[in-house]
């Protein structure tokens, strides 16, 4: 079983997700205490996909995150570099154009998509800034980006409790429900070392995005960052 470390070597990250692919969605629901569904609804609202628009769901995994855009009538491309996650997704949604690709070297032409979105993926990419630049490159001028990622709870007492929950409760719960509990030790560590809301916004701006803003969900456990090209 593979467990990525905080240097996020791409082959380790991809094979860690290959290992958890079969149980990935179930484990997500359990560990997020059902909040994952609520977060996905908010992502759908922020992306605001329209019929016939082209949407890139980057680090889409099994494409659970892609479904709201497809339901809205958009043409959605789920892209990921874990073949295991893509295979589970393809079995569930055979009609979707699953694409193998690395977020830092996207296999798409410039100015292709009306919107690019990434849910719980950017934190796992080794070179965040080059992924943000690639997302910018493949977005049409005037198009939008929406990033859904774990972040920092804003209320200090809650932040403390949450950090304790993460570090102490996550691995034992994961041991009960996941095929690769060590992957959830990585999850906890990677959340703790991820930039907070203003720091991620600054990196979006540095990559070229305009009108950058964010909204906190569940008190800042998750943040939705957005921007336009
Ligand atoms: C936590 S899963 C999120 C899946 C999906 N977006 C969701 O919300 O359920 C993170 C995904 O990011 C993918 N990933 C990580 N680094 C990547 C990279 N550099 N390029 C493409 N995909 C990547 C992993 O393979 C994994 O499927």
Residue 4 token pair:
């990525």
101 Cα nearest atom in ligand 1:
21
Q: Domains along the chain?
A: 10-228 (3.40.50.150)
- The model carries a pTM of 0.95
Which of left, alpha, beta for 183 (phi over 0: left; psi -120 to 50: alpha)? Answer: alpha
112 annotated ligand binder: no
With helix as H, strand as E and coil as C, how does 123-140 read? Answer: HHCCCHHHHHHHHHHHEE
Q: What is the pLDDT of residue 20?
A: 83
Mean pLDDT by 10 residues, the chain (229 residues): 74 87 82 86 97 98 97 98 97 98 98 98 96 98 98 91 76 75 82 94 98 96 97
Q: What is the pLDDT of residue 173?
A: 77
Helix axes 24-31, 10-20, angle to 10 degrees: 90
Question: Closest residue (by CA) to atom 17 of ligand 1?
Answer: 125
Cα end-to-end distance, the chain, whole Å: 40
Pocket test for ligand 1, best of 124, 132, 224 (most atoms within 8 A of CB): 124
Q: What is the pLDDT of residue 1?
A: 57
Pocket test for ligand 1, best of 12, 32, 61 (most atoms within 8 A of CB): 61
Pocket test for ligand 1, best of 19, 22, 59, 128 (most atoms within 8 A of CB): 59
Residues with CB under 6 A from ligand 1: 10, 13-14, 17, 59-61, 64-65, 80-82, 85, 102-104, 119-121, 124-125
CA pair distance 178, 26, nearest whole angstrom: 9
Q: What is the pLDDT of residue 3?
A: 66
Distance 99 CA to ligand 1 centre (A): 12
Question: Closest residue (by CA) to atom 16 of ligand 1?
Answer: 125
What's the half-sphere exposure (Cβ side, CA atoms, 13 Å) at 61? 23
85 Cα nearest atom in ligand 1:
27
CA pair distance 25, 30, nearest whole angstrom: 9
Cα angle for residues 30, 34, 39 (degrees, 5° grid): 125
Q: What is the pLDDT of residue 4?
A: 74
Distance 127 CA to ligand 1 centre (A): 13
Q: What is the pLDDT of residue 175?
A: 77
Q: What is the pLDDT of residue 2?
A: 60
Going by the DSSP 8-state scheme, the letter that residue 219 receives in this structure is: G
Q: What is the pLDDT of residue 172?
A: 81
222 forms beta bridges with 150, 217
Going by the DSSP 8-state scheme, the letter that residue 218 receives in this structure is: G
58 forms beta bridges with 79, 118
């Amino acid at each position: 079983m593979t467990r990525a470390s905080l240097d996020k070597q791409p082959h380790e990250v991809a094979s860690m997700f290959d290992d958890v692919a079969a149980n990935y969605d179930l484990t997500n629901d359990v560990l997020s205490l059902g909040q994952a569904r609520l977060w996905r609804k908010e992502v759908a609202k922020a992306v605001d996909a329209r019929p016939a628009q082209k949407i890139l769901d980057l680090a889409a995994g099994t494409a659970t995150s892609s479904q709201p855009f497809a339901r809205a009538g958009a043409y959605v491309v789920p892209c990921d570099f874990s073949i295991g996650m893509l295979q589970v997704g393809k079995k569930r949604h055979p009609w979707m154009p699953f694409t193998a690709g690395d977020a830092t070297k996207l296999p798409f032409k410039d100015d292709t998509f009306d919107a690019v979105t990434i849910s719980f993926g950017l934190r796992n990419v080794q070179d965040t800034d080059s992924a943000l630049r690639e997302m910018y490159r493949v977005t049409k001028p005037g198009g939008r980006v929406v990033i859904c990622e774990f972040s920092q709870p804003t209320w200090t007492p809650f932040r403390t409790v949450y950090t304790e929950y993460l570090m102490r409760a996550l691995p034992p719960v994961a041991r009960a429900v996941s095929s690769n509990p060590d992957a959830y030790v990585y999850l906890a560590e990677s959340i703790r070392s991820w930039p907070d809301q203003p720091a991620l916004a600054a990196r979006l701006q540095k990559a070229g995005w305009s009108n950058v803003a964010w909204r906190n969900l569940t008190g800042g456990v998750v943040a939705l960052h957005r921007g336009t090209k």
